[in-house]
């Protein structure tokens, strides 16, 4: 029987390389750019998939629908924007005004940076139809900063027991005065030179701080005045009581 020649084994066909899969962070960045450019209603999943070079089924598998994708993109934007409280604490020094200057400069620079402006414009444009996005922004970004500032004011402006009843109001006023102006200007498309931003921050910090100190001094003066009135009233009542006792003693002796 003739020996059969060995047959050549065919190599399996190689799979063509597919499109590389973007990371979640890259997908969310692409989606966020489109949401910012065209708004939530004007942005389609098809457009996001095209921008990300990703199959629609992959996007749906990751996020389910456009609203979930939008909220995930917004959450990432908030995470990029938030200033860690530890960084604010690092700016504290023995001098409160210097501390507030440093803290104010960080917060203003943060809101005017690319991540801050992107988040500001996006929340402003969509918060009417989706108010929960502004609420999430406040809950995760603003509220921790307010709590930190209120604690700082209690430590530095409170009495010997650390009591400062207006701490929360002072924290909100600080953000409104120091950060709110530049943020409002940016939301309306107004640009400020960095030197103008620094000058604005310095002025507003001094305006806030001396206003708070004057208010505290006035409150202390009011408390002192009220205490003095109470002491005078007590002395008058004590004098009347002594006069009555003397009169009673005289009657008993007579």
Q: Which domains does the chain have, with CATH numbers?
A: 21-80 (1.10.10.60), 82-220 (1.10.357.10)
Four-CA torsion 228, 229, 232, 233, nearest 10 degrees: -140
Residue 14 has pLDDT above 90, yes or no: no
The pTM score is 0.68
Q: What is the token pair recorded at 225?
A: 């005045």
3-state DSSP call for residue 80? helix
* Contact predicate 108/179, CB 8 Å: yes
Rounded distance between C-alpha atoms, residue 133 and residue 136, angstroms: 5
Q: What pLDDT score was predicted for residue 13? A: 40
Number of alpha helices (DSSP H) and beta strands (DSSP E) in the chain = 12, 0
Largest CA distance in the chain: 160
Digit-coded pLDDT (tens) for 203-241: 888 888 887 666 544 444 444 445 555 556 666 665 666
Digit-coded pLDDT (tens) for 69-126: 998 888 888 888 889 999 999 999 999 999 999 999 999 988 888 888 888 888 877 7
Residues 6+ apart with CB under 8 A from 26: 52
């Amino acid at each position: 029987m003739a020996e059969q020649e060995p047959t050549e084994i065919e190599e399996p066909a190689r799979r063509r390389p597919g499109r590389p899969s973007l990371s979640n962070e890259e997908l969310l960045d692409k989606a966020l750019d489109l949401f910012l450019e065209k708004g939530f209603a004007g942005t389609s999943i098809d457009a996001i998939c095209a921008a990300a070079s990703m199959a629609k089924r992959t996007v749906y598998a990751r996020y389910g629908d456009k609203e979930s994708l939008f909220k995930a993109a917004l959450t990432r934007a908030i995470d990029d924007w938030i200033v860690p409280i530890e960084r604010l604490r690092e700016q504290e020094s023995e001098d409160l005004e210097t501390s507030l200057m440093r803290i104010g400069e960080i917060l203003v620079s943060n809101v005017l940076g690319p991540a801050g402006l992107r988040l500001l414009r996006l929340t402003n444009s969509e918060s009417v139809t989706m108010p929960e996005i502004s609420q999430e922004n406040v809950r995760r970004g603003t509220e921790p900063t307010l709590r930190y500032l209120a604690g700082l004011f209690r430590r530095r402006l409170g009495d010997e027991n650390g009591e400062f009843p207006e701490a929360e109001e002072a924290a909100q006023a600080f953000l409104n005065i120091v950060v709110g102006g530049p943020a409002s200007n940016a939301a309306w498309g107004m640009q400020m030179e960095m030197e103008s931003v620094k000058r604005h921050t310095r002025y507003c910090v001094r305006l806030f701080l001396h206003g708070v100190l004057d208010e505290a001094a006035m409150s202390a003066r009011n408390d002192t005045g009220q205490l003095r009135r109470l002491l005078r009233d007590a002395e008058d009542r004590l004098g009347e009581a002594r006069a009555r006792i003397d009169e009673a003693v005289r009657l008993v002796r007579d």
